Structure 1
Amino acid sequence: MLRTLFAPRLVGLHLLVIGVLVAFFLLGRWQLGVFTDSGHPQATDDPAPVALTELSRPGERVTTDEVGRQVTATGTYDATAQLLVADRRPDVDAPGGRASAGAGFWLLTPLTLADGSIMPVVRGWVASPGDPAVDVPAGEVNVVGRLRPPDQSDAVQRGGVLPTGQVATVSTAELLNLWDGDLRDGYVVATRQTPALSATPVAVPAPSVGAPLTWRNLAYAAQWWIFAVFAVYMWFHFVRDAVRSTDPEPQPET
């Protein structure tokens, strides 16, 4: 039997099947990778900054088409109304909460525009309320940043009451009760400013769109692996027939 299994003809068959299995397995993995990557958000064109007043109007909600857009705004900060958004990290997509390692504070400052309306601006991130960067610059400032939708007021669950001057979320509904004036929806995460930002800038992603899952690629992956199983099945039958053909025929009893 061993002599048959390692005959030149069958050795060639063994090697061919091994090559086929490796190729089919890798092709299946490739198609599976295409499938798993298909559901991830895809980056879109990132337009040049436009005036905040072109995208956001008092009394109107921020739409999904406006989220992530670069905006510019000129005004003055109200230092007396600044708030600290507690338990945040220097990335808008990073998980927050008291159990989050490296959590600090966002500096949320109202920016009063020329028309008297107010836009919440996240001026950056600090590790503690005593950081010198908490101080608000006086006079007129020019801000460039990305527009973000407001947080839901119940987006963060916490076990106790925050100190005065701190909030858990950047919620337009909550800020309406804390700040006086004509408040615009959402908030701007400052990426640069004149005068320069003193706190650590908060990372904020460019606009993106969701991509559908390509189920066809998942079917292709399954197809390649089914072919691999079929190749093993055919190899088994060829080897079995070869072994049977070389076995001596049983002799009749006398």
Structure 2
Amino acid sequence: MYRFLLTPRWWGINLFIVLAIPFCIFMGSWQLGRFEDRVETHRSAEKQSEQASREKARPLADLLPVDKETSGRRTEVTGRWDKQLLVPDRDLDGKRGFYALGLLKTDEGKVLPVVRGWLPGDADRSKVPAAAEGEVTVTGALQASESAGSDGVNSAGGLPEGQLGMISAASLVNLVPYDVYPAWVTVDKAESGLKAVPPSAPQGSGLDLKAFQNLGYTGEWFIFAGFVVFMWFRLFRREVEFSKDAALGLAEIEASASASS
């Protein structure tokens, strides 16, 4: 009855099953491992953020270039305010508003973008307190330059003069006649009238959409493995039924032949 398993067609089916099931299990386990890595990275980033908030501020030069280890670390920078800009469409505590962004010119002749604080509503320069004159010292969390598409950031092309879509050296290069640090700072304590912006987690270190996509892919691969097994048993049962029907038909033919003789 099971001789069909030795046919070339079923050899091919069985070979596919033998290869497909381990492959699906391997891919599902790999995606699960990616999700677990992201969870661990997220926990490490939270722990690092807590430690950074208690650390003594360090010189900017010691923390550059910004990476996952130095992002969120506290730094202290001295300079003079140069240009003041607005960064619209920024959310804080579930509300839409804008950043007050100041460019701090240091003794090295470079400018450092500094988020002085956040205000609710549409970007409006008249709402922003005037920046202090003379030399100032800024203390805050160091952040990597933003890029389009990261954490909901977009280039926001066509903005009015004095507004900026992304906080990055690339977006500032044509606005100031100085070199721009490839990083920015969000102050620990905002000036009166402004609300301090908490530092964001480094890219790839949070439980974002990509992390849960990995978890979804894990389930899909294990479902594929189960579907392959289900289809094999379905084909097998159908083949057995065909074999039984064929054997029954052959027996009826033989019985008819015997009766007629």
- The answer on whether the counterparts of 1:108 and 1:120 sit within 8 Å (CA) in structure 2 is yes
d(CA) in 2 for partners of 1:131, 1:40: 44
Aligned to 1:123: 116
Question: Aligned-residue CA RMSD in angstroms?
Answer: 4.9
Tell me, in whole angstroms, the C-alpha distance in 2 between the residues paired with 1:68 and 1:197. Answer: 27
Alignment counterpart, residue 164 of structure 1, candidates 155, 161, 166: 161
The structure 1 residue matched to 2:129, chosen from 124, 135, 142, is 135
- Considering Cα pairs closer than 8 Å and 6+ residues apart, tell me whether 1 or 2 has the greater RCO: 1
CA–CA distance in structure 1, aligned partners of residues 105 and 34 of structure 2: 42
1: CA distance, partners of 2:69 / 2:194 = 27
Residue 66 of structure 2 contacts residue 183 of structure 2 at CA under 8 Å; is this kept in 1?
no
Does the CA-based 8 Å contact 1:77-1:109 persist in structure 2?
A: no
Q: Which runs of 5+ in 2 are unaligned?
A: 1-20, 149-153
Q: Distance in 1 between matches of 2:225 and 2:172?
A: 55
Please show how residues 1-254 of structure 1 align to structure 2 within 5 Å. Answer: 32=28, 35=31, 38=34, 42=38, 43=41, 45-46=44-45, 47=48, 48-49=51-52, 51=58, 52-56=60-64, 62=65, 64=67, 68-75=71-78, 78=81, 81-86=83-88, 88-90=89-91, 104-111=97-104, 118-126=111-119, 127-130=121-124, 134-136=128-130, 138=132, 143-149=139-145, 151=147, 156=155, 158=157, 160=158, 162-173=159-170, 175=172, 178-179=175-176, 183-190=180-187, 192-193=188-189, 198-199=194-195, 201=197, 204-206=200-202, 208=204, 223-242=225-244, 249-250=252-253, 251-252=256-257, 254=260
Letter matched to residue 62 of structure 2? E
Q: Any gaps of 5 or more consecutive residues in structure 1?
A: 1-24, 57-61, 92-101
SS in structure 2 opposite 1:81? strand
The CA distance in 2 between the partners of 1:77 and 1:168, in whole Å, is: 23
Contact 2:105 2:112 in 1 (8 A): yes
| Distance change in 2, residues 1:132/1:70 (3 Å) | farther
Structure 1 counterpart SS, 2:194: coil
Q: How many residues align?
A: 204
The Cα of 1:233 is off from its aligned counterpart by 1.7
In 2, the alpha carbon distance for the partners of 1:133 and 1:118 equals 24
Higher helix proportion (structure 1 or 2) = 2
Q: Deviations 1:19-45 (Å, cap 9, x if unpaired)?
A: xxxxxx9xx699648538838983263
Q: CA deviation at 1:67?
A: 6.6
Asked if structure 1 preserves the Cα contact closer than 8 Å seen for 2:78 and 2:106, the reply is yes
Do 1:106 and 1:122's aligned partners in 2 also have CA atoms closer than 8 Å? yes
**SS of equivalent residue, structure 1 residue 128:** coil
Structure 2 residue identity aligned to 1:70: R
Cα distance in structure 1, aligned partners of 2:191 and 2:156: 35
Cα distance, 1:219–1:198 mapped onto 2, change above 3 Å: closer
1:204, distance to aligned residue in structure 2 (A): 1.8
Cα distance per residue 1:194-250 (max 9 Å; x no partner): 668823626622354699x9xxx8987655433322121222233444556667724
**CA 1:39/1:200 → structure 2, altered by over 3 Å: closer, same or farther?**
same
Q: Percent identity, aligned pairs only?
A: 18
Q: What is the rounded CA distance, in whole Å, between the counterparts of 2:170 and 2:232 in structure 1?
A: 61
- The TM-score, its normalising length taken from structure 1, stands at 0.54
One-letter code aligned to 2:76: A
